[in-house]
Chains A and B, each alone.
Chain A
């Protein structure tokens, strides 16, 4: 695990979440996640191309996703994620990865990102072959959490 490739995602996630929602997540212990793995969370998949090739899967607990969507949309409460709410979550993740790409650029590492894809449902299994998944947990109030799962191959 190259720390140089992980720090931009940490920096960007915390910064963009704070700027768009006012929340201040704290960094949990980073670890290697075994694959395949299952999730009941809202998942947003974004591909990475260029000098770093791979993908990022941002997983957000449904309750937290509703809170984030509500804040982004100026609503007091959202109980369920409809298409507009999923679009807000998708946009948040797009901004996180876009900002990360800008940080990489400042370090002379050129990457591009793909449009986000949102997955919702129960017991979603993600299989990434023999790839290594680096998991960056972000902890919020009320025991809510989000994970930034990074899979990459250095070109």
Chain B
């Protein structure tokens, strides 16, 4: 997986994706690196999805469409 090779400082992940959804990708990234900072960015903002993302180790969750200020606030907290 590219995350393992590139070791990014921050990962932003959508949830609705082909092949593997964002929550599965999040779990795989966290399995490789528990300290990985992963921000979920998704059009799906249901409480259940947000809760599952946070339980799975997401550092933040942003619902689309978002404003620039929202991104800055979430990233400043990292």
Q: Do A and B interact with each other, yes or no?
A: yes
How many chain B residues touch A (CB < 8 A): the figure is 13
6 pairs of residues in contact across A and B, judged by CB atoms under 8 Å: A91-B64, A94-B43, A95-B65, A101-B46, A110-B48, A113-B44
Instruction: Give A72's nearest chain B residue, CB to CB.
Output: B65
- B residues in contact (CB < 8 Å) with A: 16-18, 42-48, 63-65
Distance in angstroms between the alpha carbons of A105 and B18 in the assembled complex: 23
Specify which chain A residues have a CB less than 8 angstroms from the CB of B17 in the assembled complex. 115
Cβ–Cβ contact A94 & B46, under 8 A: no
Question: Knowing A113-B16, A114-B16 touch, does A105 contact B65 (C-beta < 8 A)?
Answer: no
Interface SS of A by simple majority:
helix
Least CB distance from B50 to A in Å reads: 10
Least CB distance from B62 to A in Å reads: 12
- Is residue A97 within 8 Å, beta carbon to beta carbon, of the partner chain? yes
Chain A interface residue bracket vs B? 10 to 19
Instruction: Give A101's nearest chain B residue, CB to CB.
Output: B44
Chain A, 57-105, CB within 8 A of any chain B CB: 91, 94-99, 101-102, 105
